[in-house]
């Protein structure tokens, strides 16, 4: 099951401190294993870029543990480029969190003939339904 799933994340930006980070729209709320267990997943660029550099992949939560991968060698991306993180099938959907009011991601299935929506991305309004 793990090999059947791929998490696709968009790059929101690049942050350079003493380390170089790619800031992603997916993180520990979409794929908890790296933060929880230190698990390592492959990372594949879904873009063509220039010279390769080394990055840490950080999610959108303001948490030091919201890192999907460390020291990944990738071509230099632009904002909006996407990455694929394979081997997420057994872990993404079943462990996805709504921590910090983060909607669970859209979940698709390739049937061999086309895409089927298994779960739509949750609307932000869902998090405020119980509020008065």
pLDDT at 32: 82
pTM of the model: 0.84
User: Phi and psi at residue 68, in whole multiples of 5°?
Assistant: -85, -30
> Could you give all domains of the chain from N- to C-terminal order, each with its CATH number?
2-97 (2.40.37.10)
Tokens representing 19 are 């380390």
Residue 57's SS3 state is strand
Q: What is the pLDDT of residues 36-47, one digit of tens each?
A: 888 889 999 999
Query: What are the catalytic residues?
Result: 62
Convert the pLDDT of each residue in 51-108 to its tens digit.
Answer: 999 999 999 887 888 999 999 999 999 999 999 999 887 777 777 877 777 788 888 8
- pLDDT tens per residue across span 106-125: 888 888 999 999 888 888 78
Nearest to 82 by CA among 26, 1, 10: 10
């Amino acid at each position: 099951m793990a090999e059947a799933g791929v998490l696709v994340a968009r790059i929101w930006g690049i942050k350079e401190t003493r380390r170089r980070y790619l800031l992603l729209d997916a993180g520990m709320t979409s794929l908890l294993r790296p933060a929880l267990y230190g698990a390592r997943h492959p990372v594949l660029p879904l873009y063509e870029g220039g010279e390769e550099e080394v990055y840490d992949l950080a999610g959108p939560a303001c948490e030091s543990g919201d890192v999907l991968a460390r020291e990944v060698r990738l071509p230099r991306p632009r904002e909006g480029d996407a990455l694929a993180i394979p081997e997420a099938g057994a872990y993404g959907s079943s462990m996805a969190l709504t921590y910090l009011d983060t909607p669970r991601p859209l979940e698709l299935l390739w049937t061999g003939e086309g895409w089927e929506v298994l779960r739509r991305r949750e609307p932000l309004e869902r998090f405020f339904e119980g509020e008065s």
